[in-house]
Structure 1
Amino acid sequence: MSKLPAKRAAIALAAAATAAAAALSLTFVTDASASAPAPGTARTATALPSVSGSPEGAFTRIADFYGSYIDAVYDGDGKTADQLRAFYLSKPLQQELRQWEEANHANGVLRAQNVPLQWKVASTGSGTGKTNATVTLTWGGGDTTEIHVQADLKTRKITSIKD
């Protein structure tokens, strides 16, 4: 077996080191779920969160409103919270909430004095020109409350918020 000249050996060693470094960096970049599954098992992907909706759907409007409204109240942005109320809520409901808030000294949309840390909106069906949803609010201690919300299918305005 002939010996490689020193220069040729150095080039081969450098190429091998570069390939090893590239393979190592690829390992750090790929997700752990990208590794080969054990024989006889399927690879499972971790689902990333997603949100979807439509400006035409009254149910989506309920979810959009609660998400945006809670963000605004959490951030202390009263002007934006008021603008969201004006846009998403029917005029009669806005008046009803003002009266409720005066009597209860709390936020009528959230039915509380605090701001929830999480929210979830679930459809409870549609009928007679209305769509219904339950909004579940999760508070700092892990307690939850439910609010029943109704929106008009034609105008897409929220028309009712009840405990």
Structure 2
Amino acid sequence: MFTFPSKRATSVALAATAGAAALSFALVTGTSATAAPPQSVSGSPEGAFSRIADFYGSYVDAVYDGDGSTADRLRSFYLSPPLRQELARWEEANHANGVLRAQNVPLQWKVTSTGSGTGKTNATVTLTWGGGDTTQVHVQADLKTKKITSITG
């Protein structure tokens, strides 16, 4: 006498069939059977730390693209006037870009918060260069004005 398979056996068979179908699809289309999660970037115009990250992302893009006028406008918007003057002196003495502390343009950047206190927020910007070498720049921004007030490193 014929008996129906158990629910568990049916579930296992269906799962195996679905898995085989997904693997077949992946092989035919050349895609992975497991997808990586999508990347995301977020920030807020209200946070000084977000402003540091926004500045470095935009500034590196502008310098990489050779767009000096955009880089200058970004400096005017994000950097305090005293810091812009300090960077001009540093660049004259060191013949390098004071924001990046280098003559070249990094291929990647990462901004990491190092805390806030006494009205300031602090971050470390890690710049990755061709060949994988990295350097770090320490950045401070005013919590009230959200302007970057210090770049050292």
* TM-score for the superposition, normalised by structure 1: 0.75
Structure 1 residue 46, shift from structure 2 partner: 2.2
Counterpart of 1:53 in structure 2 is 43
Which 4+ stretches in 1 moved above 6 angstroms? none
Is 2:153 the counterpart of 1:152? Answer: no
Structure 1 residue 31, shift from structure 2 partner: 5.8
Q: Which runs of 5+ in 1 are unaligned?
A: 1-22, 34-44
Is 2:119 the counterpart of 1:129? Answer: yes
Q: 1:29 to 1:132 in 2, by over 3 A?
A: same
Query: Which of 1 and 2 has greater Rg?
Result: 1
SS of 2:38's equivalent in the other structure is coil
Q: Which amino acid aligns with 2:79?
A: L
Q: Which amino acid aligns with 2:89?
A: Q
Is 2:68 the counterpart of 1:78? Answer: yes
Supply the RMSD in Å over aligned alpha carbons.
1.8
Is 2:109 the counterpart of 1:119? Answer: yes
Q: Percent identity?
A: 80
SS of 2:132's equivalent in the other structure is coil
Q: For residues 89-128 of structure 1, what are the structure 2 equivalents within 5 Å?
A: 89-128=79-118
| Number of matched pairs | 129
Counterpart of 2:58 in structure 1 is 68
SS of 1:121's equivalent in the other structure is strand
Q: Which runs of 5+ in 2 are unaligned?
A: 1-20
* TM-score for the superposition, normalised by structure 2: 0.80
CA offsets 1:91-135 (integer angstroms, 9 cap, x no match) = 000000000000000000000000000000000000000000000
